[in-house]
Amino acid sequence: MSEFIHLTSKNHSLIIKSGRTPEVLHWGAKIASIDEDLLLSTERPISQARLDVDVPLSLCPELGSGHFNAPGIEGHRDGFDWAPVFNTVRVEANTTYLEGQDQQATFVLEDTVAKLELTVEIRLDYESDVVQKRVTVTNKGDSKYYLNKLSSTLPLPNHANELITFHGRWCHEFQTQRQRFEHGGFMQENRRGRTSHENFPGMFAGTQGFSEQNGLVWGFHLGWSGNHQMRADVRSDGRRFVQAGELLLAGESILDPESTYQTPWLYGCYSNSGLNGIAQRFQQFVRDNIIQFPTDKPRPVHLNTWEGIYFDHKPEYIMQMATEAGVMGVERFIIDDGWFIGRDGERTALGDWYLDEVKYPNGLEPVIEHVNQQGMEFGLWVEPEMVSQDSNLYRNHPDWVLGLQGYHQPSGRWQYVLDLQNEACFDYLFSRIDSLLTTYNIGYLKWDMNRELVQPGHQGKPAVHGQTQALYRLVDQLNQAHPKVEIESCSSGGGRIDFEILKRTHRFWASDCNDALERQAIQKGMSYFFPPEVMGAHIGPAECHSTNRRHSINMRGVTALMGHMGVELDPVKESQQEKQAFSHYISLHKQFRHILHSGRSFRMDPADKNQNIYGVQNDDEMLITVCQLAMPEYALPSPLRISCVEDNALYQVKLVEMPQTSFQLMKQRPQWLDKTLTLSGDNLKEIGLTLPILDPESALIVHLKKM
């Protein structure tokens, strides 16, 4: 029985066969114990016209062993040692079952010919059932080893025959596509130097037709903020796997003797209850292991000035905005781009992180004091990784730009990327941001990053890996120096959203698009991996600045209050009616924030494909939103059947929010809309609530409380 390592969590088992190389035999439902005959029952046949030996699908597949799909490691030593074959030399495993305790195993493998050592770490989180895996390679030879690729591999069962992957662009993040997964496979590569809008490093594989509520599903996410490769392959024998790792540029990882390279963490989880189980497990893992909020306060409601004033900064007017924000119930007021010297538009001054004394002749202190007097924290926008060509920093230090000598580098948003591996540049950036946080009562930084990396060279060599690690180091040092300051990760919206950057930040700006209809899809995709309290979601102007589409305050308010809520507009210019509506939705968010920011998220499979039904529940309460995305499919909506209730429990059911325009669509409306009902769980689950007719692009909210 020593051939098997059995990792267990609250609900799941991960069984690894520890032979020449480690191989996962089972990853899924919890198994009580391993039978004596499991080794015999899992022995594979060897077919004709193939290799004479069985080729395991190991945790690091090897080309040299006859794995003809993507190997886990690729590299060479001056053209030699390009097909390594490893043997396990040591196994360390913590598999003693103690309730609440995580389990893990470490496998050390070596190739004495290629003079390489691999360390494979795999962990199983007890509470969330999430698997973490990473691989480290060490050069044990006496010459350089040119590493081209090192990835983490996790297997899938043969009945996982459909994939959902992610794509997108600016203002259109977290879009999904579904495809069959039976022959060949899928691969995405990201070379943009950040997590990217286009290729979020996550995917799902599952049984045919898996949905929000049904099916067996395996979910994956690579926690890395730079370039990446992610693929799902089906071998010709039917076995299949997911593989992910950093995409290394040519020559980016050259290992000197005894030096190492370590992959980012690959995170995975299994669900027998569709995508809801995946989302709940990833969200719980993030809450338990990654985010580090102050424990003494809820997530504050924001007002960000960007779409309200852009670069037009007048301190007196900004204080008017703060006054109005305070009246509406805002708890954190953030001044966005345009506060620093010479920053009158997007073409100038990035890198010159000094207050513009022309715009702020009395300094920033009066504004901050006024914000604090309204009962709000103060936050400030920065973009430390960037420099404008028209800036004092660029004029004095053009050599600080990340790039390649001899080539013209295209700018992005009229700016360049600073080389964070240049220690003088790194020290300057730390000193400037540190000075701002020391000088002013700033409780929050919106940390932006508005372009991709082109020609990302440090001293002529490819440097995305080093740039990403230096970014982490910069944020970590600022966190250490200012532990009470919270940081938002923004990258032209949702261009840098991943588990690794979240370890050192506190919130994501999900998208630069505040269009509520677009946000329904963006926030849906993001919610499979991240809990609502880190998903920045703002009420924007009635006419969206990024789409020119108009939405009612109902649609905007309901969409925003289901995340980490904020407002992004100029409240001074809004009508009294609009401001009252903002206050209403902020109040609703605060009323239910204890559910939204600690509960279990779930989605339903609506009969109407033009509906999005999303909810969050804790032990006693539940909040459900029904959003009509487009024209209803049918004249009458299907009942809202709520599956995540207890059959024998009684629930108070109350409509919290509904668009007023819907009343004109009905000669008769469901009577329960005006009452508080008492219904049993089995009634809610099997019969459900009759929904009112909704206009396209409108939403309602229902609250349930267990009696």
Q: 512 an active-site residue?
A: yes
In angstroms, what is the C-alpha Rg of the chain?
A: 27
Q: Give 168's contacts (C-beta < 8 A, 6+ positions apart).
A: 174, 175, 197, 198, 200, 494
What is d(CA 633, CA 608) in angstroms, rounded to the nearest whole number?
6
What is d(CA 418, CA 424) in angstroms, rounded to the nearest whole number?
11
Instruction: With CA atoms as reference, report the closest residue to 632 among 655, 661, 612, 658.
Output: 612
Within 10 angstroms of residue 35's Cβ, the number of other Cβ atoms is: 11
What is d(CA 520, CA 614) in angstroms, rounded to the nearest whole number?
10
Complete DSSP assignment for 611-644: EEEEEEE-SSEEEEEEEE-SS-SSSSPPPB---S
* Burial class for 177, CB neighbours closer than 10 Å (0-12, 13-18, 19+): exposed
Q: Where are the alpha helices (DSSP H) in 385-531?
A: 392-396, 423-439, 464-481, 499-502, 516-527
Instruction: With CA atoms as reference, report the closest residue to 230 among 253, 197, 199, 269.
Output: 199
Q: Give 546's contacts (C-beta < 8 A, 6+ positions apart).
A: 171, 512, 513, 514, 515
**Identified catalytic residue from 448, 498, 570, 608:** 448
- 75 three-state secondary structure: strand
What does DSSP say about strands 650-657 and 698-706: parallel, antiparallel, or unpaired? antiparallel
Instruction: With CA atoms as reference, report the closest residue to 521 among 506, 508, 510.
Output: 510
**Identified catalytic residue from 512, 515, 570, 608:** 512
- First vs last C-alpha separation in the chain: 50
* Burial class for 490, CB neighbours closer than 10 Å (0-12, 13-18, 19+): buried
What is d(CA 167, CA 199) in angstroms, rounded to the nearest whole number?
5
Instruction: With CA atoms as reference, report the closest residue to 415 among 400, 428, 432, 431.
Output: 400
**Alpha-carbon dihedral sign for residues 136, 285, 508, 228:** positive
Instruction: With CA atoms as reference, report the closest residue to 279 among 624, 532, 592.
Output: 532
Within 10 angstroms of residue 435's Cβ, the number of other Cβ atoms is: 12
Complete DSSP assignment for 342-356: T-SSTTB-TT--SB-
For the packed helices 365-373 and 315-328, what is the interaxial angle rounded to 10 degrees?
Answer: 20
- 604 three-state secondary structure: coil
What is d(CA 230, CA 266) in angstroms, rounded to the nearest whole number?
10
- Enumerate the active-site residues: 448, 512
